[in-house]
Amino acid sequence: MYQYDQYDQAMVDARVAEFRDQVERRLAGDISEDQFKPLRLKNGLYLQLHAYMLRVAIPYGTLSSRQMRMLGDIADKYDRGYGHFTTRQNIQYNWIKLQDAPDILADLASVEMHAIQTSGNCIRNTTSDQFAGAAADELVDPRPYAELLRQWSTFHPEFDYLPRKFKIAIIGSETDRAAMKLHDIGIQLVQNDAGEIGCKFYVGGGMGRTPMIAPVIGDFVPPLQMISYLEACLRVYNRYGRRDNKYKARIKILVHEIGADEYRRQVEEEFKHILTLGLEPPAAELERIKGFFEQPGFDANASDELDLSDPDFALWVDQNVHAHKQPGYAIVNISLKPVGGIPGDATADQIRLMADLALEHSFDELRVTHAQNIVLPHVKKADLYGLWQKLDEAGLASANLDLIGDIIACPGLDYCALANARSIPVAQKISERFADLGRQRELGELKLKISGCINACGHHHAGHIGILGVDRKGVENYQLLLGGCEGADTSLGTITGPGFNEDGIVDAVEKATDVYLAKRAEGERFVDTFRRIGMAPFKEAIYAKETANG
């Protein structure tokens, strides 16, 4: 893992001191809320429905056990004993007191963490593949490049007041586990016919009220010019992005309105100019960073054999354990989606337990996934059974990864000031309706994603089944979308028709799964069947003999 140098630490420490002073001035009445609000947001501190909410950055979703333990301790010391892992691979605390915020940031800084770039119209915390450095199908480890992006984007003066927030994801595998094409910029590390590594740039994707899949803008940018190409992409956006209308201010609107070809032309022109300025970080710095991401000391004699005689363990291995590039090792996915639970929530004790397990079994590393789960990336297969038993005792062994019970849900109207409807109760009811693991496995891979408003923090556009909560004259109403998908075959979901109330949407989801089971061909996922047979059979079943309350 990357470790701060004196510059990183000095920057973060200075920021803590600065914010402490700002909070003191606010509490003393020396600055108004209008003056203070942008300052607290720059430090990830929002005011939500019940209290202040602190969003802590987890760069490219990677944590050490020491950092994870601190997240658990903060949940106990300053919050109400739990945290919420988000679709940006971050963690949020829902019950923060303003007067405590500087102390929390100081505690975070003591373990090389902060809450910078988790709010505001800047380049947000970069996300990546949760299996980075471990996946069997990986071409290049994206983490050094993600770290370079972190260093480049942190406090970048030119891009600190963009037209809108800006989200970047970077991956190094053919399999996209980071929803890369639904980001403002998605970077995929690829290999050309000559065996050289390059960056493929997808620019102008996003969800929100105008979902778009990013087109390819740069086919093959040399890795050492990645930063210059990013500068060019951002500069064109910063110059022409709409600042007059926040709903049209994201880069996807610019790319769409002027067209990918014209945007690419302008980026290439700017790129040529930037290359003359020598803005690239030195190659030695990238090499220095790579040094932090060396392969851990794997046991070359580790065995691939597993005793699967315990049927519950066998189910968990089949569903939640992923192939590792190192023989004898595996990637463990810890589902934060127990039946009837709150997606992404973990208690302080659970957080600390996962930290301990990472230290003991995963070379001191954890990852947060955009699906609101936790990954232990490097676990010896011989340790899996003991690890599973400890997870099971703590309620962390749900064997439902990528099944219908593995629901992504934003905090929704239970917590969020922007939300129009509650997301979590819908997730809980669906989770309970499909509680039977055998039924979930019969349905196979089925990604269900719920957002409580059009901002789409719950990624509903990208769900095989998506649910969007809306406000209809003060009453919660839920729209159903089918056919969304992230990954190599990214697609956007289509609304089925009139919306439903809370119970109605659960029934509608079940009817959609019934159609899938009746119509699927061999080997088809839900989304594959939808693509083949279209909306009509689903719509017919969902609305048959039902009067939708919308």
Partner 1 sequence: MKIITGSDLRTGDVIWWTGEGWSRHVNDAVEAGEHAEAIIARENAKQIVTDTQVIEATRTDDGVRPAHIKDRIRALGPTVRLDLSLKPADTDAGTWVI
Contact residues: partner 1, CB under 8 A: 26-29, 33, 47-52, 80, 94-99, 342, 413-415, 419, 422, 424-425, 428, 474-476
Measured CA to CA, the distance from residue 355 to residue 350 in angstroms comes to 9
Structure-block tokens of residue 549:
């309350």
Query: CB of 104: closest distance to partner 1 in angstroms?
Result: 13
- SS3 letters across 278-333: CCCCCHHHHHHHHHHHCCCCCCCCCCCCCCCCCHHHHHHHHHHEEEECCCCEEEEE
Cβ closer to partner 1: 80 or 390? Answer: 80
Q: Write down the residue that tokens 């019934």 correspond to.
A: 514
Angle at 413 between CA 407 and CA 414, to 5 degrees: 80
Cβ closer to partner 1: 253 or 342? Answer: 342
Structure-block tokens of residue 355:
């930290």
Cβ closer to partner 1: 98 or 302? Answer: 98
Query: CB of 75: closest distance to partner 1 in angstroms?
Result: 13
Burial class of residue 549 (count of CB atoms within 10 Å of its CB; 0-12, 13-18, 19+): middle
Element (H, E) at 467: strand 465-472
Cβ closer to partner 1: 32 or 547? Answer: 32
Structure-block tokens of residue 503:
């119970």
For the CA atoms of 117, 121, 126, 127, what is the dihedral angle to 10 degrees? 110
Give the full edge-to-edge strand order of the sheet including 197-203. 127-128, 168-171, 185-191, 197-203, 216-221
Cβ closer to partner 1: 67 or 428? Answer: 428
Partners of residue 128 on adjacent β-strands? 170
Give the full edge-to-edge strand order of the sheet including 321-323. 62-64, 365-368, 374-380, 329-334, 321-323
Structure-block tokens of residue 302:
């580790």
Q: Write down the residue that tokens 């009453």 correspond to.
A: 475
Q: Write down the residue that tokens 């839920």 correspond to.
A: 478
Cβ closer to partner 1: 351 or 358? Answer: 351
Cβ closer to partner 1: 51 or 533? Answer: 51
Cβ closer to partner 1: 42 or 150? Answer: 42
Angle at 493 between CA 490 and CA 495, to 5 degrees: 170
Element (H, E) at 106: helix 101-109
Query: CB of 98: closest distance to partner 1 in angstroms?
Result: 6
The count of other CB atoms within 10 Å of the CB of residue 191 is 13
Cβ closer to partner 1: 333 or 431? Answer: 431
Query: CB of 448: closest distance to partner 1 in angstroms?
Result: 17
Cβ closer to partner 1: 165 or 422? Answer: 422
Please report the DSSP string for 331-365 in residue order: EEEE----TT--TTEEEHHHHHHHHHHHHHHSTTE
Query: CB of 345: closest distance to partner 1 in angstroms?
Result: 9
Cβ closer to partner 1: 113 or 409? Answer: 409
Measured CA to CA, the distance from residue 449 to residue 427 in angstroms comes to 9
Per the CB < 8 A criterion, the answer to whether 520 and 446 are in contact is no
Query: CB of 477: closest distance to partner 1 in angstroms?
Result: 11
Query: CB of 503: closest distance to partner 1 in angstroms?
Result: 11
Query: CB of 494: closest distance to partner 1 in angstroms?
Result: 28
The rounded radius of gyration (Å) of the Cα atoms in the chain is 23
Measured CA to CA, the distance from residue 104 to residue 108 in angstroms comes to 6
Query: CB of 22: closest distance to partner 1 in angstroms?
Result: 13
Query: CB of 341: closest distance to partner 1 in angstroms?
Result: 10
Cβ closer to partner 1: 475 or 495? Answer: 475
List phi, psi (to 5°) of 450.
-125, 130
For the CA atoms of 444, 527, 176, 467, what is the dihedral angle to 10 degrees? -90
138-158: b or e for each residue (b if 16 or more CB lie within 10 Å)? bebbbbbbbbbbbbbbbebee
Query: CB of 415: closest distance to partner 1 in angstroms?
Result: 6
Query: CB of 342: closest distance to partner 1 in angstroms?
Result: 6
The β-bridge relationship of strands 127-128 and 168-171 is parallel
Cβ closer to partner 1: 278 or 474? Answer: 474
Structure-block tokens of residue 89:
């691979």
Query: CB of 15: closest distance to partner 1 in angstroms?
Result: 21
